[in-house]
Structure 1
Amino acid sequence: MSSVGVLRKMKVAYAVGDPQVNYTLVLDNEDIPMNRLLGTAIRLSWTNRILCLNCGKTTKKSFGQGYCYPCFIKIPETEACVLRPELCRAHLGEARNMQWAEQHCLADHYVYLAVSGGLKVGVTRKSQIPIRWIDQGASRAVRIAQLPNRFLAGSLEVALKAYFSDKTDWRKMLRGVEPEEIDLAGQRTLSRELFPQNLLDYFLPSDEIYEINYPVLEYPTILNSVNLEKVGIVEGVLTGIRGQYIMLDKQRVMNIRTFSGYEIIFEKVDL
């Protein structure tokens, strides 16, 4: 088994009742089911080429997880509000691409609480549930508010960050540390007290707590993060997948999304 192509973030599929998240590695137009490779030795070899995910041109460096610099500074996918929703100005008619903004910024958004190594607050489009939670490796999550655009959702998140972290504790997440003492329903109720007065009407009076399971045979106890660009070849037995990370034997982890745009050769091998 050998495949060549440009890396993108892994596709995920998960529905209530599924035993675990299903992951697919995406190489150009080829999809590689990853769950079935658990316990199998794999190899990722970088060809020393990086191709922009937008224009397809070769670039010496990847910007914004997969783009050349000219595209990075002009395409809507890398606008400031992607990382900081409170900076969105689409509701004022200002965006790099208003057609894109109408679908991505002027659509309903959720503000949520999730357990991903620790408790965090976050924002995502309505259509991205539960994909966003899975990409962050969350084990549990609950929605707390539904707002009509990205700016308002970001404004609420900023207010809640005075109490809740907005960062994923990826080290704990990848070690499988699950702080069971976190009362997600109780924290959800508490969050309402932190809402700015003008956003109280967007609080969701009730919501179920989502639980998410990942395909992991064994969690590492010590994390050795692998940099594909530095080592060129990454190989080992696939022991798990969580968030956008693959876990390999010898306590190694690699963030697939970090290397979006990198052309690789993917192989199933015998070690």
Structure 2
Amino acid sequence: MLIDTHVHLNVEHFDEDREDVIDRALEAGVERMVVVGFDHETIPKAIELAEAYSFIYAAVGWHPVDAIDFTDQEYEWLKELSQHEKVVAIGETGLDYHWDKSPKAVQKEVFKKQIQLAKDVNLPIIVHNREATEDIIHILQEENANEVGGIMHCYNDSVDYIQAALDMDFYISLGGPVTFKNATMPKEVAKEVPIDRLLVETDCPFLAPHPNRGKRNEPSYVTLVADQIASLRNITRQELDEATTRNAMRLFYRMKK
């Protein structure tokens, strides 16, 4: 059994065959998935999928790329949705310095607001990070994010920052990049993260793992991520599956056993 902790089955990439994709995930042993909403369009669809399937849960948050569009109205909307019994986290939120749609200062402010929201509603945070690790760690520390913890989603940075995240009760989630032949950092992280703080994900439809790199990603491919991590850690797939499932259930306390 595996839990894919970060999927975007709520985007248009799956409009033609969403049910088939979900069936393939179940056949591959992916028994639970967290569909992550990040804007006006994807958040309601995440809730819809969670309501339609017993094994699908939702996360609601505002993506940093669109931080400039975040208002008090969006904040209240997220707060209301967070009360839904199948919403298990706030996110994805964070910082993204790769794109320039939203100024850094605006991103930081919106990130802080969503950390506060997570604390107010007692849900973990799913953190998106692109080229902003030091600022993210600083803000999480400054805002006492350790009160709820969360996930460093699709972690793709140095092992040097892992301990700071662990100290704040965050889990490290790895996806497709850990399988890329030229990706050294994710492989090092896979070996260094304590087994009780490790999660797996696809971030589908993005970042498909080898040998499907460049194609549309889907939840069933999380098995390829798990295979690679188990190999890197020199443990069995069963051990990896059991540990990451246990970790996800611990973090997402609204998930039904």
**TM-score by structure 1 length?**
0.26
Structure having the larger proportion of residues in strand? 1
Structure having the larger proportion of residues in helix? 2
